[in-house]
């Protein structure tokens, strides 16, 4: 399969941990609600493709996010690969009660840098949501769970406009001070640009929060997610959130589209010589398969470019075409069966 020419840049981490959010952030905003069996297969395929952190689902109110209402059933069906972490979103103690006892070892709480989104997403003010999270983090830590915190609307908010950096840093620190291990900075509506990312990370550093405690979470609404990721890597971040095939968005944020596609990220990192441990071909096959399940092509550029090539290679090798998946692949990328010679792949 085609691969990028490898040309490293100085000052980047040698390895990046991809925090895969497709089964949660991706599926929570798709129109098609997949059965738990298909979700379990999705998670299993992601693990087989080499992803080591796969956010599986959410224990939120089922009426708020019906797409993930089957969290208990999914956890019952999911095979766990040793060495792979399967975090779940938990907003409150009710969510924690549901998750405990199902083999969950990692949870994520999710706060907002703005009042409007806190109200719309959590039905509370920023202070009210921190009060809701405090006992969750305390009990989760006491039970030995790892706790991540998300902070949404770190760059702009559809109702409030640009979000001041000082406001983001203040709320981010409050989330970390609850006892969370990691803070993921969310560009929920994808309006950030690289200079803004650099300034935000610098401000966190000046406030005593180093990049080793930070992750980045970019939605790709304006096509800035990869550029923003590169800016974050240059500032020292080595945990990057991404969603296989670029699916998803946030149901409670107007204009939030899919996350940075994992395939696009892996392609760039592979070109930069940064290790991820992810098998790009296996991941593309997963996204092509998922696109058929969801009934819409993957928005990822790398999936579109490579899927048709994979299908053609298969057909040439006399293997059975992958049915709807292969059709979906050729619809997504007509005529893309040849290209420049493949560079060495990881
Ligand atoms: P609420 O209505 O204020 O809840 O919702 P409440 O505490 O007042 O309770 C009302 C009823 O809901 C009670 O039932 C509770 O038991 C029940 P009743 O006594 O009336 O029969 N309830 C629950 N049931 C099941 N599971 C629960 C639960 N909690 C309460 N966990 C709540 C508050 C936080 C629950 C609600 O606002 C909610 O579920 N919000 C979730 C929204 C969401 O999932 N958004 C998407 C994820 S965030 C995101 O995508 C952004 C991110 O990707 C980063 C980025 O991009 O920026 C992370
Ligand atoms: Mg998100």
Quick check: is 88 in a domain? yes
Look at residue 313 in the predicted model and tell me its pLDDT.
84
Quick check: is 47 in a domain? yes
* Cβ of 25 less than 6 Å from ligand 1: yes
Distance 158 CA to ligand 1 centre (A): 21
Distance CA 261, CA 90 (A): 24
pLDDT at 344 over 80: no
pLDDT at 265 over 80: yes
Neighbours of ion ligand 2 (CB under 5 A): 25
Look at residue 91 in the predicted model and tell me its pLDDT.
98
Is the entire prediction scored with pTM above 0.85? Answer: yes
DSSP 18: E
Which residue in 15, 17, 14, 11 sits closest to 240, CA to CA? 17
pLDDT at 155 over 90: yes
- Residue-wise pLDDT tens digits, 217-250: 999 999 999 999 999 999 999 999 999 999 986 5
pLDDT at 215 over 90: yes
Quick check: is 165 in a domain? yes
Looking from the CA of residue 110, the nearest atom of ligand 1 is 58
* Cβ of 252 less than 6 Å from ligand 1: yes
Q: State which residues form the domain around 79.
A: 17-309
Residue 95 near residue 103, CB atoms below 8 Å: no
3-state SS of 28-51 is HHCCCCCCHHHHHHHHHHHHHCCC
- Mean pLDDT, residues 249-274 taken together: 86
Distance CA 272, CA 65 (A): 37
- Mean pLDDT, residues 79-107 taken together: 97
Quick check: is 324 in a domain? no
Distance 64 CA to ligand 1 centre (A): 6
pLDDT at 301 over 50: yes
Closest Cα to atom 14 of ligand 1: 61
Residue 175 near residue 151, CB atoms below 8 Å: yes
Question: What does the DSSP assignment read for 75-107?
Answer: HHH----TT-B--EE--SHHHHHHHTTTT--EE
Per-residue confidence band for 345, with pLDDT thresholds at 50, 70 and 90? very low
- Mean pLDDT, residues 74-80 taken together: 98
Quick check: is 54 in a domain? yes
Which residue in 92, 176, 173, 177 sits closest to 139, CA to CA? 92
- Mean pLDDT, residues 102-106 taken together: 96
- Among residues 141, 154, 180, 250, the one annotated as catalytic is 250
* Cβ of 250 less than 6 Å from ligand 1: yes
250 is catalytic: yes
DSSP 26: I
pLDDT at 89 over 50: yes
Distance CA 283, CA 42 (A): 10
Q: Is 9 helix (H, G, I), strand (E, B) or coil?
A: coil
Quick check: is 340 in a domain? no
- Mean pLDDT, residues 59-70 taken together: 97
Quick check: is 10 in a domain? no
- Residue-wise pLDDT tens digits, 314-338: 888 876 544 444 444 444 333 333 3
- The total number of structural domains in the chain stands at 1
Q: Is 205 helix (H, G, I), strand (E, B) or coil?
A: helix
Look at residue 255 in the predicted model and tell me its pLDDT.
59
Q: Dihedral sign for Cα 154, 156, 160, 162, please.
A: positive
pLDDT at 66 over 70: yes
* Cβ of 87 less than 6 Å from ligand 1: no
Distance 25 CA to ligand 1 centre (A): 15
Look at residue 335 in the predicted model and tell me its pLDDT.
31
Closest Cα to atom 23 of ligand 1: 61
Ligand 1 pocket: which of 27, 28, 61 to mutate (most atoms <8 Å of CB)? 61
For residue 182, the domain's CATH number is 3.20.20.70
* DSSP-assigned beta bridge partners for residue 53: 19, 85
Distance CA 188, CA 156 (A): 8
Look at residue 327 in the predicted model and tell me its pLDDT.
45
Look at residue 246 in the predicted model and tell me its pLDDT.
96
* Cβ of 121 less than 6 Å from ligand 1: yes
């Amino acid at each position: 399969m085609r691969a990028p020419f490898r040309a490293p840049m100085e000052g980047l981490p040698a390895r990046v941990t991809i925090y895969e959010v497709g089964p949660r952030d991706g599926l929570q905003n798709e129109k098609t609600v997949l059965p738990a069996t298909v979700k379990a297969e999705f998670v299993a395929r992601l693990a087989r493709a080499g992803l080591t952190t796969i956010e599986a689902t959410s224990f939120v109110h089922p009426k708020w996010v019906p797409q993930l209402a089957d969290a208990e059933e999914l956890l019952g069906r999911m095979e766990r690969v040793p060495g792979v972490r399967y975090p779940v979103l938990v907003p409150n103690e009710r969510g924690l009660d549901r998750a405990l006892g199902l083999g969950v070892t990692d949870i994520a709480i999710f706060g907002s840098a703005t009042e409007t989104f806190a109200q719309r997403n959590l039905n509370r003010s920023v202070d009210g949501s921190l009060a809701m999270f405090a006992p969750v983090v305390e009990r989760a830590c006491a039970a030995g769970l790892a706790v991540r915190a998300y902070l949404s609307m770190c760059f702009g908010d559809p109702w409030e406009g640009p979000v001041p950096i000082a406001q983001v840093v203040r709320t981010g620190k409050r989330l970390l001070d609850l006892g969370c291990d990691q803070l993921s900075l969310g560009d929920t509506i994808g309006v950030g640009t690289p200079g803004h990312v650099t300034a935000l990370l610098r401000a966190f550093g000046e406030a005593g929060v180093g990049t080793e405690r930070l992750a980045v979470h970019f939605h790709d609404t304006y096509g800035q997610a990869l550029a923003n990721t590169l800016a974050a890597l240059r500032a020292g971040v080595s945990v990057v959130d991404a969603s296989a095939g670029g699916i998803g968005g946030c149901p409670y944020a107007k204009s939030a589209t899919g996350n940075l596609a994992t395939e696009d990220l892996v392609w760039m990192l592979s070109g930069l010589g940064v290790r991820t441990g992810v098998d790009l071909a296996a991941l593309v096959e997963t996204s092509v398969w998922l696109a058929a399940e969801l009934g819409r092509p993957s928005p990822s550029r790398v999936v579109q470019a490579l899927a048709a090539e994979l299908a053609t290679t298969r057909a040439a090798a006399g293997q059975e075409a992958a049915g709807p998946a292969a059709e979906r692949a050729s619809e997504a990328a007509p005529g893309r069966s040849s290209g420049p010679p493949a560079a060495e792949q990881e």
